[in-house]
């Protein structure tokens, strides 16, 4: 499995990272262990989770389930030294019932995020380490940018956690480019650890004009990444919940709200045409397209729920796209 640099840290991480969001909830222990074992046995090392994963499958889940599952798996196989382990804080839900009782309010969850205050992050990380059964994580993200807390407070707290040896590197997620640059400037001014990883939603489809791109990579953010190679993109939801092969999801899934329109239709058509020529699925083709990107290079984060879903993604790792294939896909759109 290929690797890419993590910023300018000197660290090499798997270009194909394993998202563990649904492990311990929709993915039971046996399925999760099978996926994790196959990923590591195939040369992968980069595991991604968060403290809030995953409350949304419903009762009795409230968050922490993915970290606990990983803790059980790490203890079972004694493989902590074989993985690059990432988790996140700031999006823990303080009152899960308040969110579940407002299923039609898109802002209900965000009002319940515990945020990125210094004391909050220190406690949240200690809780994550306890669930994971380890004394440190390799990468710790601010999961959702918190504008209600001074950045100086958040960055100082993260610096203290790095100094204490509880985290090695800092990342940020779900953040606009101007805020990211402000974070970098403050880190430089005060000598605090700057983010080396940016986790955002990124796929072959492009956001529609006017879409809210807080969590989605847009042209400005790509340009920022090209100019700052000390920051590595970790692209989540690369196949948009499987929409490239599922017409129902393409039509109905909420993940498509930021993409629907003529440009998305044209790009779906380009994927379907080339996938048929190459004898692969649309999802496999899009994963391969992402893994072929070089400007900038980034990590593609894939989060299967079953061993079968994981196996279905693996052909993308061996799929070689020619310059002509890449040019066709790049040129497609309205």
Task: Give the number of domains in the chain.
Answer: 1
**Residue 33 domain flag:** yes
User: pLDDT, tens digit, for every residue of 153-184?
Assistant: 999 999 999 999 999 999 999 999 999 999 99
What distance in Å separates the CA atoms of residue 89 and residue 157, rounded to the nearest whole number?
A: 12
Which token pair is 18? 């394993």
CATH of the domain at 200: 3.20.20.100
Q: Is 169 a catalytic residue?
A: no
CB 235 within 8 A of CB 298: yes
**Residue 19 domain flag:** yes
Q: For the whole model, what pTM was predicted?
A: 0.96
**Residue 272 domain flag:** no
Strands 12-14 and 299-302: unpaired
What distance in Å separates the CA atoms of residue 167 and residue 134, rounded to the nearest whole number?
A: 11
Report the mean per-residue pLDDT for the chain: 96
User: pLDDT, tens digit, for every residue of 237-289?
Assistant: 999 999 999 999 999 999 999 999 999 999 999 999 999 999 999 999 999 99
User: pLDDT, tens digit, for every residue of 130-141?
Assistant: 999 999 999 999
**Residue 313 domain flag:** no
φ, ψ of residue 165 in degrees (nearest 5): 80, 10
| 104: confidence class by pLDDT, cuts 50, 70, 90 | confident
What distance in Å separates the CA atoms of residue 216 and residue 138, rounded to the nearest whole number?
A: 24
- Mean per-residue pLDDT, 295-304: 97
Which token pair is 38? 């196959």
φ, ψ of residue 5 in degrees (nearest 5): -70, 145
Q: Where does 114-190 have alpha helices with state H?
A: 118-132, 151-163, 177-190
**Residue 77 domain flag:** yes
With a pLDDT cut of 90, the percent of the chain lying above it is 96
**Residue 204 domain flag:** yes
pLDDT recorded at residue 73: 97
CB-based burial, 88-119: b 16+ in 10 Å, e otherwise: bbbbbbeebeebeeeeeeeebbeebbbbbbbe
What distance in Å separates the CA atoms of residue 241 and residue 325, rounded to the nearest whole number?
A: 24
- Mean per-residue pLDDT, 291-306: 96
Residue 103 above 90 pLDDT?
no
**Residue 26 domain flag:** yes
Beta-strand ranges (E) seen in the chain are 3-5, 12-14, 16-19, 46-48, 84-89, 137-142, 167-173, 195-201, 232-236, 299-302
Least confident of 38-42, 114-118, 212-216: 212-216
- Alpha carbon dihedral 7, 10, 14, 15, in 10-degree steps, equals 40
Burial-class residue 321 by CB neighbours within 10 Å (0-12, 13-18, 19+).
middle
User: pLDDT, tens digit, for every residue of 177-215?
Assistant: 999 999 999 999 999 999 999 999 999 999 999 998 899
Domain interval for residue 158: 3-242+289-307
Residue from 39, 53, 113, 236 carrying the catalytic annotation: 53
What distance in Å separates the CA atoms of residue 176 and residue 221, rounded to the nearest whole number?
A: 8
Distance (Å) of CA 282 to CA 191, 272, 278: 45, 6, 10
**Residue 94 domain flag:** yes
């Amino acid at each position: 499995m290929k690797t890419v640099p993590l910023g300018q840290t000197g660290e090499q991480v798997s270009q194909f990272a394993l998202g563990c969001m649904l492990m311990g909830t929709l993915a039971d222990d046996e399925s999760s262990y099978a996926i994790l074992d196959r990923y590591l046995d195939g040369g992968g090392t980069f595991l991604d989770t968060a403290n809030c994963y995953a409350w949304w499958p419903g009762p009795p889940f409230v968050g922490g389930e993915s970290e606990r599952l990983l803790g059980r798996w790490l203890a079972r196989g004694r493989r902590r030294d074989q993985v690059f382990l990432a988790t996140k804080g700031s999006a823990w839900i303080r009152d899960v019932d308040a969110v579940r009782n407002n299923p039609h309010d898109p802002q209900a969850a965000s009002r319940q995020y515990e945020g990125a205050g210094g004391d909050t992050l220190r406690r949240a990380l200690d809780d994550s380490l306890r669930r994971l059964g380890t004394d440190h994580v390799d990468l710790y993200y601010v999961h959702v940018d918190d504008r209600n807390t001074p950045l100086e407070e958040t960055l100082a707290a993260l610096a203290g956690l790095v100094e204490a040896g509880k985290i090695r590197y800092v990342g940020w997620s779900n953040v606009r480019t101007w805020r990211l640059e402000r974070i970098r400037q403050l880190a430089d001014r005060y000598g605090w650890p700057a983010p080396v990883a940016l986790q955002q939603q990124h796929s072959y489809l492009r956001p529609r004009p006017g879409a809210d791109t807080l969590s989605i990579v847009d042209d400005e953010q790509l340009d920022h990444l090209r100019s700052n190679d000390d920051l590595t993109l970790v692209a989540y939801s690369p196949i948009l919940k499987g929409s490239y092969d599922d017409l129902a999801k393409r039509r109905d899934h909420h993940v498509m709200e930021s993409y629907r329109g003529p440009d998305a239709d044209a790009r779906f058509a380009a994927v379907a045409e080339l996938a048929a020529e190459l004898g692969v699925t649309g999802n496999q083709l899009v994963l391969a397209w992402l893994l072929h990107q070089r400007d900038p290079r980034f990590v593609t984060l894939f989060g299967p729920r079953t061993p079968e879903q994981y196996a279905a993604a693996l052909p993308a790792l061996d799929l070689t796209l020619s310059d002509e294939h890449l040019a066709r896909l790049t040129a497609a759109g309205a």
